[in-house]
Amino acid sequence: MLNSSPNNPSSIDGKQYVSYQEVAQECSTRRLRRGLYVIGLIFLVIMFLPWTQNIRSKGEIITLRPEQKPQTINTIIGGKIVKWYVKEGDLIKKGDTILVISEIKDGYFDPKLIDRTQNQIDNKEQSVVAYEQKINSLDQRVDALIENSKLKIQQAQIKYRQARLKITTDSTEFEAAKLNFNIAKDQVNRFEKLLLKGLKSETEVETRRLAMQRAQASMVTAQQKLLQSRNDLIDAQVEVSSTNAKFRDEIAKAESEKMSAMSDMYETEVEVTKLQSQISGYSVRSGNYTITAPQDGYLTKILSSGIGETVKEGQEIATIMPSNFDLAVAMYVRPMDYPLLKKGQKVRMQFDGWPAIIFSGWPNNSYGTFGGVVYAVDNFTSENGMFRVLIGPDKNDHPWPSSLRVGGGVNAMILLNDVPIGYEIWRNINGFPPDFYGKDNPKPKSNKPKS
């Protein structure tokens, strides 16, 4: 190679250049090598320093209890605003009057509506008492008819038994008269035979014939009395049946009147109950003209303003923020981080408005952060496709600032396992998730057979 350059290093006078003298010295090479060794050693030591794995996410401040969340005050009934007693930003106590409304439905305009309804209730209650008295009277009538029917039926049965006894007597008399007639008839036959023989006279035969006719007449009379007695027995039996049927009809009629009275009484009681329900509704409605605070808190915003403005039933009129509340933090994590979460995990948080210096891998060295504990983890995804995590204050750490308010922003870090920095760098380079193994999730044993 030709050395055609005019600045040939061999022709440079090193004594004229201080930098050249420093570089050209052999000791500078040793110093550089020694410095590289120290830097490499420090880097190697740093690779073995502990690093806390974490899941970082943004969240917001909320309250855990439903009654401590911001709420709206609604009207129970529709009406017209008459007067306001508060303004926005006021601290109100439970039961304080917020506003008063008046009635707008024509069915409730009557100022004596409750009194008139009460009069209707009183009249209906008197009707119920009258029906009760009528039912009692019908009960007494039914009892009297039952007693009278027993006596009448007993009387008819006695007549029936008397008729049967009279039939027995008349039957006996008829048999006796029939026997006398047969005897008289036999005597006439014997006397006629004796008359032919000349042993009896005509007069004696006529006498026997007369006696036979009398016996026949007595037999016919006895037979007639027997038939009449049988007819009387039938009449007595009919009288027993008719008496029984007559009183049954009268008792059934009285029972029917009693049932009708009971039905009317029950209907009147139903009307009384309806009127009582109406008057209760009127009383409750009149109490809803005054809208009061449901709990202690600050009136943050009035949604319906003005005097004379009409509000609908259930319309929102104001919002209130409870003065006493327990704060918590709601944050959202990705589904791939969900298996790493469990109750009781430590969390470090930075609240908006509170300056902080954060070292994500060394939470103990962070400044301005506050401690928290995982309170609950949802078992289903939210609308944004992520899982919500609720974080409560850590009682063993510094208390959260008293000036925090619901809705503020939070940067949170859920702390996981401690690993070397080198491992963490290798994990992030390869895109692996944080370690899942721990006390609650032990590393699975290998099924590889031993050699």
The reply to whether 68-103+289-322 shares the fold of 51-64+326-444 is: no
Distance (Å, whole) CA 203 – CA 212: 14
The model's pLDDT over 402-420, given as tens digits with 9 standing for 90+, comes to: 888 888 888 887 777 667 7
| Domain at 113-287, CATH class | mainly alpha
Mean pLDDT score of the chain? 81
What percent of the chain lies above the pLDDT cut of 90?
8
297: enclosing H helix or E strand: strand 297-302
Q: Is the pLDDT of residue 24 over 80?
A: no
pLDDT, residue 1, reads: 44
Q: Is the pLDDT of residue 8 over 60?
A: no
- Stated length of the chain: 451
Phi, psi of 109 (to 5 degrees): -70, -30
User: What is the pTM assigned to this prediction?
Assistant: 0.54
176: enclosing H helix or E strand: helix 113-197
Q: Is the pLDDT of residue 290 over 60?
A: yes
**Fold of the CATH domain 68-103+289-322:** OB fold (Dihydrolipoamide Acetyltransferase, E2P) (2.40.50)
**Fold of the CATH domain 51-64+326-444:** Elongation Factor Tu (Ef-tu); domain 3 (2.40.30)
56-60, 154-158, 167-171, 422-426: range with lowest mean pLDDT: 422-426
The model's pLDDT over 427-442, given as tens digits with 9 standing for 90+, comes to: 778 766 676 544 444 4
Which among 383, 369, 368, 373 is positioned nearest to 329, based on CA atoms?
373
Strand positions, DSSP E, 69-138: 71-74, 79-84, 91-92, 97-102
Specify the 3-state DSSP secondary structure of 213: helix
Q: Is the pLDDT of residue 327 over 70?
A: yes
pLDDT, residue 446, reads: 44
pLDDT, residue 32, reads: 77
Domain ranges of the chain: 14-47, 51-64+326-444, 68-103+289-322, 113-287
pLDDT, residue 2, reads: 47
Distance (Å, whole) CA 433 – CA 443: 15
4-18, 289-303, 336-350, 351-365: range with lowest mean pLDDT: 4-18
